[in-house]
Structure 1
């Protein structure tokens, strides 16, 4: 609500006092800098823990292999869908921000070594921990991959370290939640500046981005995922979503798909899918099957580049796609993590576009809800698919549950505190 009020105030100030409003851009920059502060630790923790999930999932054989193969395929496809739609619609093309408020402030980047050898050498940090302090996303990514694979090789001896990183991740996300309290201030400053500089064109472009994103997510979920589910399992996607209606409402209110994690595990087991399949597929999917986040990352990146009149080349789009395939893993669960991942992608590929993240702060809350709903829908569909492929699903039970003959026992989740405790327990135990 605070962000919504801030956006409205920013629009009013932008229309009534345009010259003054443009000077408020620093408030949006303040928020973006706070987000930048969180990029490296978030990517480090989520990538290391994500690789840990791969190790555990792959160790159980066929179920883990099928699940991971499906997750990587679909999230990559979702990223590509976002790129295609963004290139077709071009929601940010009508904005003219370059000369008015979109100062890159990244002149030092142009002076750097842009050769291939310089780029490769730049991937290696001075020390193992300096990647977390120097602000280089690609260096952080490299160190996270090395640490993750090292923990894989350590086997059970690495479990205490993984547990420690999990606690560190909780601390980082708690700090991230504190940073998000500044979002209304950033939204006010960014919206006032963009309206003061461009007028009604900004509202049209932001509205077009939101509409395009919602429609793309809807087509992806009901058109693509729904068709795959029907062809492979014979289950109607609307019936499945009706069964999960309470979880969708919970996600809508919290803007985080992880708030429904324990309920999804319980409901998938009640649906007739074996516990071993659910226990592998659902938690792993929460790190590796982020369809909504994938669509958001590519569409938002293209929007910012177009708004700043600095569009991505085809090669840069492909490079961004590859980076997002890796960096998006583990971005689920915390509202605002998608924004940090977006900032990380831009910082690693086009630092001159990073200031543009402030342009979409005001609508990120709406985008976050759509991301979380799409992520959750994708994971619920994936669980049914993997259960079917591995013959670990009771089709008679599925029919009884979806027809309403065997309702789910809601007394299992009586309070919000139970939700939080079960989510933490499930995430750590899987």
Structure 2
């Protein structure tokens, strides 16, 4: 008896098809281009529903970022201070970080003053003092100094007073260090809450391309090129000043002080700089800034201190270049002559008062603080509010670049920078967070007979 077996043949699966994944940076660029196009269409053809839609999209994106600001700042500062106990020479690192914050701020404000004196941004604008109006909230040194200490623990969170939140977090962090092991349960909980907040913020950050469409589109539709034309010199000054710091001063410091390749820094830090440009929020960008700084070889324990600290106090764009140029611009509109002493005061305010910007969109508080110190009319703030969002994009990008730069410089000088990690840093942490690495997603198609 013979048994015949039919040989079964299996159809081999088709070759794996590779679907290209769009990198995060490309999504942001696409959002910028689409936003400009939609903004132009809205303004040119008066498409009211599109105008409202762009406004809502941008507004919701910014609100989602702000939603996480208060708890994120509190737990980030608290955890970062306690993490310093894991770092050798923590006090030295903290003091060097603050010193370099001040040095770069002085350089930035000097560049702003020089550009303002050369270009006279307030001349020939057609604007008059009657075009300005006082802001609803103005900053002063008394408010700044007394406002650091909150009256209760709830109001700073409900009113989003970041400076007071930083104060409370610093006190809590120092107290936890003093308590030692007794504070460990609180620290463990704080670290978990911080990770939870960062994970939620990553989801918001992932929406940045869509938010970019709304923010850029609304800016073009609302302000238009005509308004920008009135502020052409001032706008160009802000962008040129920030670009000189971003692409001139920072690379020079990296090459001469840190003795590392500046191009490699931008390859590693660009995702954070790019997100800062469209989100206009240093704090909202902070999770990405932390990741790119770690990728650049800065020890995690030091990064967790330096970046949150910088996100609330290190503002070369908003607190140095911008108020210097704005003060000159407003003085020229109101026909006020500034003296050498006034320029020194601007530098002093920029270095000491930068925490007033608080890492949020806009720099109104810092501007009013500068004007009140110089005795310039606060009505000048109203002259700049119309154009502020357009300026804030470049200012915030410069802020965030500086917040990543200083830890790299300090780590390099203290010889704790991982040079291998620095020289290989590239790609976007946003892509990595979602399993996309400038890469391709593999999809295996089912076998067919």
The 5-angstrom pairing of residues 255-294 of structure 1 reads 259=288, 265=294, 268=297, 278-288=299-309, 294=315
CA distance in 1, matches of 2:205, 2:213: 14
Q: Are 1:52 and 1:162, in contact at CA under 8 Å, matched by a contact in 2?
A: yes
Does the 8 A contact of 1:252 with 1:369 survive in 2?
A: yes
| Normalised TM-score (structure 2) | 0.60
Q: Describe the shift of the 1:284–1:199 C-alpha distance in structure 2 as closer, same or farther (beyond 3 A).
A: closer
In structure 1, C-alpha distance between the alignment counterparts of 2:328 and 2:55, rounded to whole Å: 19
CA distance in 2, matches of 1:127, 1:291: 21
**Aligned equivalents of 1:368, 1:100: Cα separation in 2:** 30
1:296 aligns with 2:317: yes
Q: Find out whether 1:215 has 2:215 as its counterpart.
A: no
**1:48-197 map, 5 Å:** 48-62=75-89, 64-90=90-116, 93-94=122-123, 95=125, 103-106=133-136, 109=137, 125-154=150-179, 155-163=183-191, 165-166=193-194, 167-168=196-197, 171=200, 184-185=213-214, 187-188=216-217, 190-191=219-220, 194=223
More helix by share: 1
Alignment pair present for 1:42 and 2:69: yes
1:322 alignment partner in structure 2 = 352
CA shift, 1:214, in A, is 0.9
* Contact persistence 1:58–1:65 (CA under 8 A): no
SS in 1 for 2:411: helix
The DSSP-based 3-state class of the residue aligned with 2:245 is: helix
Unaligned runs of 5+ in 1: 230-234, 269-276, 329-337, 423-430
In structure 1, how many angstroms separate the alpha carbons of the residues matched to 2:193 and 2:99? 27
Are 1:102 and 1:355, in contact at CA under 8 Å, matched by a contact in 2?
yes
What is the alpha-carbon root mean square deviation over aligned residues?
Answer: 5.4
SS of the residue 1:340 aligns to: coil
Partner of residue 229, structure 2: 200
SS in 2 for 1:387: coil
C-alpha displacement of 1:36: 8.4
8 Å contact kept, 1:28–1:185: yes
Specify the structure having the higher radius of gyration (Cα): 2
Give the deviation of 1:182 after TM superposition: 5.2
* SS of equivalent to 2:122: coil
Structure 2's unaligned 5+ residue stretches are 1-29, 277-284, 372-377, 437-449
- Cα deviation per residue 1:36-74 (whole Å; 9 max; x = unaligned)? 896696256325522432332245332x23322221111
Change (3 A) 1:381 1:56: same
User: How many pairs align?
Assistant: 371
Give per-residue Cα distances to partners, 1:211-252, cap 9 Å, x unaligned.
1111122332233342223xxxxx4x33xx455675256556
SS in 2 for 1:163: helix
